[in-house]
């Protein structure tokens, strides 16, 4: 979603006549989009501030703005923490960022913060996402489309409900308009975005749910061969969704379903609103509907109170489900979240050991699953040349596996059949067959 926000903000600025600078040294304006999900992400941003300060010393008229989740989280405090910052714009005000920047540049003359900081209005998340009229796209092949934002769940470790607000869905009319536009411009792969796409439609005047939206998208934009979505919550991933995934030709056979832990005790403390058994049932159902479909997930290891036995349950769930891939994180305490009341009692060293062990197991599972594809034929949409000096091209299967092939001919943008000849844990090697 940050990627999409950055793209839309770029579009707003291009519409106002701004141009991309070749480097940060040459730029008159730097907007830094930020993520708060883990402390590591925040530290990276704070780590860049020294460099920004130096740039500003050399070029005092440079405008530096912070946007996104950290802006929402820290608000005006940013000005105190980092005086080189001119603008703080939260996730709820992004559609105004172009006007804010102009105002700062106009009223520059000495005033450090020419613009009052936008009040961080979580409850008035941009009308109709405000940004969807922006035509600019960073890519010609793949597009991101925000269909809802915010989250009504309250997982105890998670800062997202505080930085992205409550769930708000875009009207289907507005989404379908955007999809038609993307179809007419030849986009081949569209990712529908939301913190919790399965509960799409909640609070809308119209009678529409996520499965219904996918059906509508298929009907109005059948030229787009690949529709994906991220992220789903296990509690709202229903049979009807799996049926639609199976039946609609454009909806890709890949489900990202974060589980976080394989231990019921940990899931309870995380307030995940599902058990290990419920999750495994959903996965079984998914596999029944889409036997060739792929699965990915997120895990947090080292959550407060996670015992060796809890961690073993996580490894066991990993083995049982056989995810194609998994994003695994060590628990990071986020200020203001309910989990801060729990004692963060797993040592950093132990968290790190569990992370390594879980990653090792997942790599072995990913490798095994990828090796099972050797000899099969896959439809691959090619996205890029892997290296400038090589005749190798990288693309994705419908199940989101990365495939690399050698070809004398430029494959970028093409959809081709590929025979898989070798496999590693993150990449498949193939040969063109069509």
- Taken in order 243, 248, 253, 254, the sign of the CA dihedral is negative
Burial class (CB in 10 A: 0-12, 13-18, 19+), 51: exposed
**Comparison of 201 and 394: residue with beta carbon closer to ligand SF4:** 201
Nearer to ligand 5AD, 40 or 119 (CB): 40
Instruction: Give me the least distance between CB of 127 and ligand SF4, in Å please.
Output: 22
Using alpha carbons, select from 282, 278, 360 the residue that is nearest to residue 315: 360
- Specify the residue, 174 or 332, whose C-beta has the smaller distance to ligand 5AD: 332
Quick one: 157 or 187, whose CB is closer to ligand 5AD? 157
The contact mask relative to ligand 5AD for 22-41 (x = CB under 6 A, - = no) is ---------------xx---
| Angle (CA) 36 33 231, round 5° | 60
Omega within 30 of 0 (cis) for the link into 114: no
What's the closest the beta carbon of residue 157 comes to ligand 5AD, in angstroms? 4
Q: Which does 37 bind (CB under 5 to 8 A by kind): ligand SF4, ligand 5AD, none?
A: ligand 5AD
C-beta of 92 vs 161, nearer to ligand SF4: 161
| Cα–Cα distance, 18 to 10 (Å, whole number) | 9
Residue 323 interacts with ligand 5AD (CB under 6 A): yes or no = no
The answer for residues whose C-beta is within 8 angstroms of residue 274's C-beta and 6 or more apart is 234, 235, 267
Site residues (vs ligand SF4, CB under 6 A): 151, 153-155, 158, 160-161, 195-196, 233
- Decide whether 82 or 198 has the Cβ nearer to ligand 5AD: 198
Q: List the strands of the sheet with 63-68, edge to edge.
A: 29-34, 63-68, 87-89
Among 78, 157, 162, 286, which residue sits at the site for ligand 5AD (rule: CB under 6 A)? 157
We find the least distance from the C-beta atom of residue 172 to ligand SF4, in angstroms, to be 22
- CB of 17 within 8 A of CB of 29? no
Report in angstroms how near the CB of residue 122 gets to ligand SF4 at its nearest: 14
Count of residues that bind ligand 5AD according to CB under 6 A:
12
Q: Name every residue whose Cβ is closer than 8 Å to that of residue 48 and which is 6 or more positions away in sequence.
A: 32
Pairwise CA distance, residues 341 & 337, whole Å:
8
- Residues near ligand 5AD (CB under 6 A) are 37-38, 157-158, 258, 260, 298, 300, 329, 331-332, 334
């Amino acid at each position: 979603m940050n990627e999409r926000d950055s793209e839309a903000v770029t579009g707003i600025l291009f519409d106002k006549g701004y141009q991309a600078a070749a480097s940060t040294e040459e730029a008159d304006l730097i907007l830094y989009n930020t993520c708060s999900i883990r402390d590591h992400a925040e530290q990276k941003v704070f780590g860049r501030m020294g460099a920004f300060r130096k740039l500003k010393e050399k070029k005092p008229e440079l405008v530096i703005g912070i946007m996104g989740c950290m802006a929402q989280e820290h608000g005006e405090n940013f000005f105190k923490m980092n005086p080189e910052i001119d603008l703080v714009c939260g996730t709820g005000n992004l559609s105004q960022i172009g006007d804010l920047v102009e105002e700062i540049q106009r009223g520059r003359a000495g005033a450090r913060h020419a613009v009052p900081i936008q009040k961080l209005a979580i409850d008035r998340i941009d009308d109709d996402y405000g940004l969807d009229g922006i035509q600019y796209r960073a890519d010609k092949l793949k597009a991101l489309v925000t269909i809802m934002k915010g989250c009504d769940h309250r997982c105890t470790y998670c800062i997202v409900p505080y930085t992205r607000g409550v769930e708000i869905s875009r009207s289907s009319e507005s989404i379908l308009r955007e999809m038609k536009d993307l179809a007419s411009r030849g986009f081949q792969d569209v990712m529908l975005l939301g913190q919790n796409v399965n509960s799409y439609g909640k609070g809308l005047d119209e009678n529409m749910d996520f499965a219904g939206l996918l059906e509508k998208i298929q009907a109005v934009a059948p030229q787009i061969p690949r529709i994906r979505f991220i992220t789903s919550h296990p509690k709202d991933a229903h049979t009807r969704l799996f049926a639609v995934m199976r039946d609609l030709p454009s909806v890709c056979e890949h489900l990202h379903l974060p589980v976080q832990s394989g231990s019921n005790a940990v899931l309870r403390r995380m307030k995940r609103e599902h058990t290990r058994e419920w999750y495994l049932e959903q996965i079984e159902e998914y596999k029944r509907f889409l036997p060739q479909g792929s699965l990915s997930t997120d895990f947090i290891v080292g959550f407060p109170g996670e015992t060796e036995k809890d961690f073993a349950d996580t490894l066991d769930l990993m083995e049982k489900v056989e995810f194609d891939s998994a994003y695994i994180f060590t628990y990071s305490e986020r200020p203001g979240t309910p989990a801060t009341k729990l004692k963060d009692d797993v040592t950093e060293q132990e968290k790190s050991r569990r992370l390594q062990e879980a990653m090792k197991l997942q790599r072995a599972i990913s490798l095994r699953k990828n090796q099972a594809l050797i000899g099969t034929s896959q439809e691959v949409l090619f996205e890029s040349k892997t290296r400038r000096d090589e005749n190798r091209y990288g693309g994705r299967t419908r199940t989101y596996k990365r495939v690399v092939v050698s070809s004398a001919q430029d494959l970028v943008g093409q959809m081709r059949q590929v025979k898989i000849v070798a496999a590693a844990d993150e990449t498949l090697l193939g040969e063109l067959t069509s």
